């Protein structure tokens, strides 16, 4: 995840390269292993949702009284309660299905 002046700006996929100029903007990054941690941490989730497709994640909002089922590469990995969730799509194919309970 790349931040410009402390604000989430984009996500760089594995095996890709990006160049940034030093100068008027402070560029920082945080490396995340999406294979070990497929769920997007709660802290940057709202910022990354504003980035859009460049965030390399799939998001879903699960309303009260509903459940979410998370599949990674076609395998069910967990059930979600009410809330907003994100899963990295850079190294796997996440699918979140929201169902009535």
Pull the structure tokens for residue 55: 């965030």
Identify whether the C-beta of residue 7 lies closer than 8 Å to the C-beta of residue 48: no
Q: Give me the residue label for tokens 């994100």.
A: 86
| Cα 96 from Cα 28, distance rounded (Å) | 30
Residue 13, both tokens = 């996929």
Determine the pLDDT at residue 90: 86
CB 80 within 8 A of CB 69: yes
Report strand pairing: 7-10 vs 2-4: antiparallel
pLDDT of residue 77: 93
Spell out the per-residue pLDDT of the chain, length 101, in tens. Answer: 888 888 888 888 888 888 888 788 899 888 888 889 999 988 888 888 887 777 789 999 999 999 999 999 999 999 999 999 999 998 889 999 999 88
- Amino acid 79: pLDDT: 96
């Amino acid at each position: 995840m790349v931040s410009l002046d402390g604000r989430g700006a984009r996500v760089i996929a594995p095996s890709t390269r990006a160049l940034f100029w030093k100068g008027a903007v402070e560029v920082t990054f945080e490396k995340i292993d999406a294979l070990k941690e497929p769920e997007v941490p709660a802290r940057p989730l709202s910022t990354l949702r504003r980035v859009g497709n460049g965030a390399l994640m799939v998001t879903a909002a699960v309303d009260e009284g509903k459940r979410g089922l998370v599949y990674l590469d076609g395998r069910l990995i967990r059930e979600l309660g009410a809330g907003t969730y994100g899963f990295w799509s850079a190294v796997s194919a996440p699918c979140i299905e929201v169902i009535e309970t």
